[in-house]
Amino acid sequence: MVRIPFLDLPPLTAASGSVALPGSKSISNRVLLLAGLAAGTTVVHDLLDSDDTRVMLEALRTLGCGLQTEGRTLHVTGLGGRLQVHEARLFLGNAGTAMRPLAAALAVLAATQGGDFQLSGVARMHERPIGDLVDALRPLGCAVDDLGQPGYPPLRLRGTAGGRLRTAQPIRVRGDVSSQFLTALLLALPLVSADGPVVIEVDGELISKPYIEITLNLLARFGIAVQRDGWQRFTIPAGSQYATPGHVHVEGDASSASYFVAMGAIAAHGGAPVHISGVGSDSIQGDIRFVDAAEAMGALVRRGPGWLEVRRGRWPLRGITIDANHIPDAAMTLAVMALYADSPTRITGIASWRVKETDRITAMATELRKLGAAVVDGPDFIEVRPPAAWQAAAVHTYDDHRMAMCLSLAAFNPLCATAPGNVPVRILDPGCVAKTFPDYFEALFGLVQADPAQVPVITIDGPTASGKGTLAAAVAEALGYVLLDSGALYRATGLAAQWDGVAPDDEAGVARLAGMLDLRFGHGPEGSRAWLRGHEVSEQLRQESAGLLASRVSALPAVRQALQGLQLAFRRAPGLVADGRDMGTVVFPDAPLKVFLTASAATRAERRYKQLISKGIPANIDSLRADLEARDLRDTSRAVAPLKPAEDALLLDNSHLGIEASVQQVLAWWAQRRPFQA
Ligand code: DC
C-alpha cells in the first residue's frame, strides 16, 4: 500500500473467512541474527517481510553475511563468529529486536576481534532505553559510548583485536524494564564461551518471560543448550558454538493473530468462523496465550498445529481482570475487545507498554476515549469501559503498528450490544502497519462485511477523454478505496461480442454476454490490468475501437441492466470510487459525493492526441475531436442512462486544471462530507 495519510473504515457488521499470518517478528529477527553469526548456510522459510526485518537484513548485509532469496526462502550464509567488516554504521529504524541484540553481539565482537560500530535508529528508537544492557556489557570489558543521551541509542561500540572479556564472573542484567536485554546477552555471549561457561544473572523480576523462552528455543536449534535455573540464572556451557540447523521455518506471528482472534470473537456470528493459519497449538510464542484471555472474554476457539478457528461465543463479551505481563503485545488487543463487553476490563502488569514503539498506555487511553469509552490508566495498568455512545473518531496511531491494527477493531461498533454504534473510524497513518504486517488492511478487508449503504462511494462521471479515469484512480489511491472503471465493463462487453461474432446491436445476445462477463482486474507496475476469459486485454480495452464499440453496446437497455449487479458488487469496504457516465445518476444514486467532470471538446481532443502520439500511435487532432463529439452526442442523447450530471453533482471543469489540482479539489469536497473533526 502507498503511504496514505488516513484510511476510513466504514461501520462493519460481520467477519468470516481465512487469513494467513505473516511470519513472527520476534522469531524472524532472532533467526536472522543467529544465522548471521553461525557458520554455514541457513535456509529460512516464511520469514516476515516488514520494516523491522528489513533493517536487520540490511545490517547483516553490511556486516558481510551472504543473503540470497530463492522463491519464498532466504539463504543466509553466516560469519561463523568472525567479523569480516570491522567498521560500520547501522541504521535500525524503530526495531528493538534488531537494536538490542546487535548492540550486544557487536560490542562483544568488537571487544575481542577489534572494530568500531555505530548503531542508530529513528527518533523514537533514541527514546527507548538500552542503559540496562550497556550496564551489563561494560563490566565485561566492552567499550560502549553513548552518542546521545546516556542510556539510549545511538551507541558506539569499540574495541581492539585480541581483547579478552571478563566472563569468569556472572554477568548481571536487569530484567524488569525489557526482556530484550537478557535476550540480547543470551544471543551474543555464545560468541565468547569457547574457554569457559558464561553465566548471566537477572536482577529484579524478569518481565515478558515467554520471549526468553523463544530465545532459548531458537538458541537450542542453533546448537546452544542454555541451562536455566528458574528465571534468575542462565548458563551458556563452555565450548558452545553456533551451528546452523540447515533449515528453519518461521511460524506466523502470534501477536498479529490476536487481531483476527478478536475479530472472530466479536464478528464471526453468522455460522462461519475466522480461520487463522500460521500459528496454533504448537506455537513457541508466548502471545499464543492471548487466546486463553480471549476465551475468558467469550471467544469460541478451536485449535490445531499451525491453525486457529474462532467464532463468537458469549455475547456481549465479558469484561475481565488480567495480569498481562506474559502477553504484553497481544494484551493491547484485549483493551479494544473491552469495547464490546458488558463490564469493565482491567489489564495490569503492563508497565513495559510505556517503553514500546510509543507510550502505549497513554496512547491507548487517549484514543479509546475519542471513540467514547471511559478509560482509567495508571503507571502499569489500564481499565476500559465500553462507550455509552460511539463517536466517529480520527484515531492517531503514533507510528505504532499495533495501535493501528488494534483500533481497526473499533469499526465493528454496530455490533456493540450495550450501545450499538454506526460510525466510521478514521485510522491516521495506516501505513505504520508495515513494521510487522504490511498487508494488514488487505487481510482485514478480505474478511469483513459491511452494510453496502454504509460503504461510501464517490462517483466521477463525465464525457469521454475528460480525464475521469486518471482522476478516479488517483482519488481511490489517496483514500485506499476500491476503484470501478465502469467504462471497462462496457468495453469488455463489446470485445466479448466481437470475439463471439455477436452483432453490437443484438441486444439480447450482447446482454447475455454482459451477464456472464468473466472479467478480472489487477495491478501491475504500468497501472491497472484486465483479463477477459483469462486472456490479458489491458491494451485492447484502451484502444479507440474498443471505446467506439462500448459506446454502441452501452446504448442497449438490457446490456446496462445486465452489468448493474457487477457494478454494485464493487461497493466494498473500505469504500469505492466509481467512474463512468451514470455512476451518480443510476448505479449509485445514494453516493455521498458526486463529481461531474467536464472539459472543452478542444482540450479533450488535444489530451487524447498527446496520449496517442506519446505511445507512437499516429493520430489526427481534427478527426479525434469529431469522434469525441459524435460519442458525446450518442452518450448524451441515448434513451437509457444518458450522460448528464446528477442533480446533486458538483461540476469540475478541468480544462485548465492539472491532475494534482483536480485530485485536491475532490479530496477537499470529500473532507467536507466526512463526520471527522479536522
Ligand atoms: O469511459 P470510457 O471511455 O471507457 O467508456 C466507454 C464507453 O462506454 C462510453 O462511450 C460510454 C460507455 N459507458 C457508459 O455508457 N456508462 C458508463 N458508466 C461507462 C461507460
Buried/exposed code over 206-231 (b: 16+ C-beta within 10 A; e: otherwise): bbbebbbebbbebbebbebebeeeee
- Distance in angstroms (rounded) separating the CA atoms of residues 368 and 377: 11
Q: Whose CA is nearest to atom 16 of ligand 1?
A: 581
Q: Across the chain, which distance is largest between two alpha carbons, in Å?
A: 92
**pLDDT for the residue numbered 634:** 87
**pLDDT for the residue numbered 194:** 87
Same domain, residue pair 136 and 278: no
- 662 alpha carbon – ligand 1 mean position (Å): 21
Q: What is the dihedral of CA 449, 452, 454, 459, to 10 degrees?
A: 130
518 catalytic? Reply is no
Q: Whose CA is nearest to atom 11 of ligand 1?
A: 551
Q: In this structure, what C-alpha cell is assigned to residue 269?
A: 456470528
Inter-helix orientation angle 544-553/621-637, to 10°? 20
**pLDDT for the residue numbered 678:** 53
Q: In this structure, what C-alpha cell is assigned to residue 326?
A: 506474559
* Phi, psi of 23, rounded to the nearest 5 degrees: -65, 155
Same domain, residue pair 218 and 260: no
Q: Is residue 678 part of a domain?
A: no
Q: Which of 115, 144, 110, 121 is nearest to 55 (CA)?
A: 121
- 548 alpha carbon – ligand 1 mean position (Å): 9
- 119 alpha carbon – ligand 1 mean position (Å): 57
Q: Is residue 574 part of a domain?
A: yes
Q: Is residue 472 part of a domain?
A: yes
Inter-helix orientation angle 25-37/180-188, to 10°? 20
Tell me if the bond preceding 101 is cis, omega within 30° of 0: no
Same domain, residue pair 232 and 372: no
- 190 alpha carbon – ligand 1 mean position (Å): 68
Q: Are the CB atoms for 541 and 498 separated by under 8 Å?
A: no
Q: Whose CA is nearest to atom 20 of ligand 1?
A: 487
pLDDT in tens, 290-327: 999 999 999 999 999 999 999 999 999 999 999 999 99
- DSSP annotation of 543 reads S
- 554 alpha carbon – ligand 1 mean position (Å): 7
Same domain, residue pair 61 and 205: yes
**pLDDT for the residue numbered 477:** 95
**pLDDT for the residue numbered 527:** 74
- 557 alpha carbon – ligand 1 mean position (Å): 14
Q: Whose CA is nearest to atom 3 of ligand 1?
A: 464
Q: What residues contact residue 633 under an 8 Å CB cut-off, 6+ apart?
A: none
Residue of 46, 329, 400, 627 marked active site: 329
Ligand 1 atom closest to 491 (CA): 6
- 493 alpha carbon – ligand 1 mean position (Å): 11
Q: What's the CATH code of the domain at 60?
A: 3.65.10.10
- Residue for cell digits 498481562? 324
Please give the residue range of the domain that contains residue 431. 6-22+251-451
Q: What residues contact residue 92 under an 8 Å CB cut-off, 6+ apart?
A: 55, 56, 59, 98, 99, 102, 119, 120, 121, 125, 153
Same domain, residue pair 463 and 531: yes
Ligand 1 atom closest to 469 (CA): 1
Ligand 1 pocket test, candidate residues 459, 493, 554, 586, most atoms within 8 A of CB: 554
Same domain, residue pair 338 and 383: yes
Q: Whose CA is nearest to atom 10 of ligand 1?
A: 551
Q: Whose CA is nearest to atom 18 of ligand 1?
A: 580
Q: Whose CA is nearest to atom 4 of ligand 1?
A: 487
Ligand 1 atom closest to 551 (CA): 10
Same domain, residue pair 143 and 277: no
Q: Is residue 94 part of a domain?
A: yes
The tally of CA atoms less than 13 A away on the side-chain side of residue 345 is: 31
461: which strand partners? 580, 596
Strand 425-428, strand 394-395: pairing: parallel
Ligand 1 atom closest to 468 (CA): 1
**pLDDT for the residue numbered 2:** 64
- 445 alpha carbon – ligand 1 mean position (Å): 28
Ligand 1 atom closest to 464 (CA): 3
Q: Whose CA is nearest to atom 13 of ligand 1?
A: 487
Please say which residue of 393, 422, 451 terminates a domain: 451
The tally of CA atoms less than 13 A away on the side-chain side of residue 385 is: 6
Same domain, residue pair 210 and 291: no
Over its C-alpha atoms, the chain yields an Rg (Å, rounded) of: 29
Degrees to nearest 5, angle at CA 550 with 546 and 553: 140
- 485 alpha carbon – ligand 1 mean position (Å): 9
Same domain, residue pair 421 and 458: no
The ligand 1 site (C-beta within 6 Å) comprises: 464, 486-487, 490-491, 547, 550-551, 554, 580-583, 631, 635
- Distance in angstroms (rounded) separating the CA atoms of residues 196 and 335: 47
- 486 alpha carbon – ligand 1 mean position (Å): 7
Please say which residue of 451, 484, 511 terminates a domain: 451
Q: Are the CB atoms for 337 and 262 separated by under 8 Å?
A: yes
- Distance in angstroms (rounded) separating the CA atoms of residues 41 and 204: 38
Q: Which of 445, 345, 355 is nearest to 400 (CA)?
A: 355
Q: Which of 516, 461, 520, 511 is nearest to 487 (CA)?
A: 461
Ligand 1 atom closest to 583 (CA): 18
- What pTM, to 2 d.p., does this model score? 0.92
Domain count, the chain: 3
Segments of the chain scoring below 70 in pLDDT = 1-2, 677-678
Ligand 1 pocket test, candidate residues 490, 576, 629, 638, most atoms within 8 A of CB: 490
Ligand 1 pocket test, candidate residues 581, 628, 644, most atoms within 8 A of CB: 581
Q: Whose CA is nearest to atom 1 of ligand 1?
A: 487
Buried/exposed code over 239-257 (b: 16+ C-beta within 10 A; e: otherwise): ebebebbeebebbbbbbbb
Same domain, residue pair 369 and 232: no
**pLDDT for the residue numbered 677:** 66
The residue ranges of DSSP E strands in 121-232, in sequence order, are 143-146, 155-161, 171-174, 198-203, 227-229
Q: Are the CB atoms for 489 and 658 separated by under 8 Å?
A: no
Ligand 1 atom closest to 490 (CA): 8
Q: What residues contact residue 123 under an 8 Å CB cut-off, 6+ apart?
A: none
Exposure of 331 by Cβ count < 10 A (0-12 exposed, 13-18 middle, 19+ buried)?
A: buried
Same domain, residue pair 102 and 222: yes
Number of H helices, E strands in the chain: 21, 33
Q: What's the CATH code of the domain at 657?
A: 3.40.50.300
Ligand 1 atom closest to 631 (CA): 10
Q: Whose CA is nearest to atom 9 of ligand 1?
A: 551
Ligand 1 pocket test, candidate residues 460, 471, 485, 486, most atoms within 8 A of CB: 486
User: Residue 335: enclosing H or E segment and its boundaries?
Assistant: helix 331-337
Q: Whose CA is nearest to atom 15 of ligand 1?
A: 554
- 298 alpha carbon – ligand 1 mean position (Å): 51
Q: Is residue 1 part of a domain?
A: no
Same domain, residue pair 526 and 402: no
Query: Please, what is the end-to-end C-alpha distance for the chain in angstroms?
Result: 24
Please say which residue of 249, 264, 287 terminates a domain: 249
- Residue for cell digits 558452545? 240
- Residue for cell digits 521455518? 249
